[in-house]
Amino acid sequence: MAETTTTTWLTQEAYDRLKAEYDHLTGPGRDEVVDRIARARDEGDLKENAGYHAAREEQAKQEARIRELKQKLESAKVGQPADDGKVEPGMLVTADIAGDETKFLLGSREIAGTTDIDVYSDQSPLGAAINGRSAGDTVTYQAPNGKEITVVIKAAEPFQG
C-alpha cells in the first residue's frame, strides 16, 4: 500500500525551528538519552529499575518525534503561496463565520506558536470546507457538535508573518 505524503506549508521561522529541534534530537538529544539508559542499566536489575524504564520510554517518544519532524521537514513547502485570492495553506483568510467576521491563517499547527493569529489546519472541518475556495464563496461545514455553520469568504491573501 502506497503511503500518502501531505505537503505542510511552513513559514521560514517555523521551518528553522523544526529543523533546529530535529538536529538537536538526532544529535546531542539522542546521545543524552543513550547515556541515561546506560547509567540506569549499570544500576543493576532491569526488572525493578524505574530509571531504566523511564529512560527507555523517553527514548521511544523521542524517536517518534524524530520521525514526525523528518516527515514534516521533507514534505515542507516554505515560502508564500500565490496571491491569487484562493484559500490554501499559507493564506491569511478573512471570513464571516456564522455571522462573526474573523481573520485567521490556514496552515500547520507548527506555525501556531510563531504568530498571534489563530491558525486552522486545512485538515480541520473549517479548513477542509474553505480550502480551494475564493473570496465571495459561501460554504457550510459541520462543526464537531453536529451544527451546520455557514462561512462567507471575504478575502484570502498570502501570510506575511
Residues 45-93: pLDDT tens digits? 777 788 888 889 999 999 999 999 999 899 888 877 777 889 998 899 9
- The one-character DSSP state at 6 is -
CB–CB of 87/153 below 8 Å?
yes
% the chain with pLDDT above 90:
47
CB–CB of 126/97 below 8 Å?
yes
Residues 18-34: pLDDT tens digits? 999 999 999 999 999 99
- The one-character DSSP state at 4 is P
The residue assigned the cell 515542507 is 76
pTM of the model: 0.68
Burial (CB count within 10 angstroms: exposed 0-12, middle 13-18, buried 19+), residue 105? buried
Per-residue model confidence (pLDDT) at position 8: 76
Q: Which domains does the chain have, with CATH numbers?
A: 8-78 (1.10.287.180), 91-158 (3.10.50.30)
